Every structure is written in structure tokens, then in C-alpha cells.
Structure 1
Amino acid sequence: MAKLTFIAGLAAGYVLGTRAGRQRYEQIARTSGKVWHSRPVQKQVANAKEAARTKAAPAVADIVADAARATGQRLRASRTVTAETITSSPSTPPPTAGGTMPPVANGSPTAAPRPTPDPWAAASRTDGAA
């Protein structure tokens, strides 16, 4: 196989570098076509294709499967939400977004309790804000 590659490179170099003219180019093209289509060369081409199918394809499939597995693990790890303890006591309303307590009227919390933020919604946001 290495000899065939060397000969093909040698022929291509000669064709590209020659100043013999069109007639010599056509002669080389005909000869290389005959060599390429000859039975021994085509047998080696078929052997190379079969080797690629039986030996290289499983190795490539393993590499792709490993890369897909690693990517899946990274994606799962980046989407994992850490556990948060949410506590609220009935006597103390939750703080507002700014960290301050909601307004108090007559010494007691406001009548309508404020909704607490959903930590799962905040953790699964895709816009970068968490």
C-alpha cells in the first residue's frame, strides 16, 4: 500500500512539474488510469475498504460513544440543583427581593402574604440569571 501511494505521488509530481506538454500529460493520465483500474490495485483498494469497515469503524464508534457519554454527564452535572431548605414561620412573613421585610400595619404583618420565590424555577432558568 505504501508503494502505491509513493508511486501515485511521484506520478502526480511529475505531471504537475513537467514541461513535456499536453501529449505527455495525456500519456501519463492514460497509464495511471490503467494502473488504477487494474485487478491487483482494485483488490488492494477493496482490502483497504474492508479493513476500514471492520477495524476502524468500531474504534471510531467507541470514541464517539465515549465522547457522547462524557458530554451527557457534563450536561447532567450542570443542570443539577443543590438542595435548599425553605423555611417559613407563620408569624414572620418572608423577606422581599431586596432583603427587607414587607410593610407592617398596626403591628402585624400585612393581610395578604407575599408569594415565595420558587427555587426550582430560578435554578432551571436558561437566561443565565439564577
Structure 2
Amino acid sequence: MGIHLLKSEEPDNLPKAGKNINPKDNHISFQCENMAIVERRLKEMKIDYVKSRVEEGGINVDQLFFHDPDGSMIEICNCDVLPVVPLAGDAVRIRSCTSTVNCNFHQQQIQQEPQINPQSCLSDSIHAKEDFLHFAS
């Protein structure tokens, strides 16, 4: 897989995303080492963004959400603060949950074939705080 990063020679002429920034909307996420640097760059580039925090197992994960020039939602997070949990071979099955609003992938140990319920896609151990902070340029 490759990622291509392009910089416009005329950024003021790029179309605006036009959508509200909703952290629960479909998006792609990237992990970064320094959230402060990313946030500073977003401000310097006058890109609107939403700042959020989720808690998982007593660990806070910071998130920044914004749209790329094509209107796709991007999340930048410091997910490296979460512990890495090794998985055991055949005891783990990857289950995907999709909806028009959210797409989350999580892994689950199975004793029997699980029922897939689109309403339960989010892990019970993740508690999203609803007080998102919106920053406009």
C-alpha cells in the first residue's frame, strides 16, 4: 500500500469540503508521534478541525479530525499510547461492522459463531466524549 502526499501550488483555489466535521462520520485514521505539532500545522494552514478525546481502559487517546481537499475525513491520533495486546492464532476472528455513519473493525475472541449487530459496532470499553471542540480558521 502506498500513500501519495501532494501540495497544491494554489491552495486558495482548492474547493472547500463543505461538510461539517463529524468525528462519528466515515474516516481514515493515522497515528502520529506529536499531536501538538499536527495541531499547530493545521492552524498554520488555516484548516478547520475538531479536537476530541476518547478513553479506553483509563488511557486517554487524543484525536484531530479534518477534511482533506477532496472532502474525505481524516483522523490523526496518538493511538500509540494504547497497549499492544497480542492475539492468539485461531481463537481470534476479525468482525467488521458497517453502517452509513460509522465503520469500525474490531477483533473478538469467539466461543461460538457471534451474532453481528450493527448497533454494537463500537467496543464497550471505548467511551467517546461528546464535547468535541471545533476550531475554525
Q: Which has the higher strand share?
A: 2
Taking structure 2 as the reference length, what is the TM-score of the superposition? 0.16
Q: Which has the higher helix share?
A: 1
Rg comparison, structure with higher value: 1
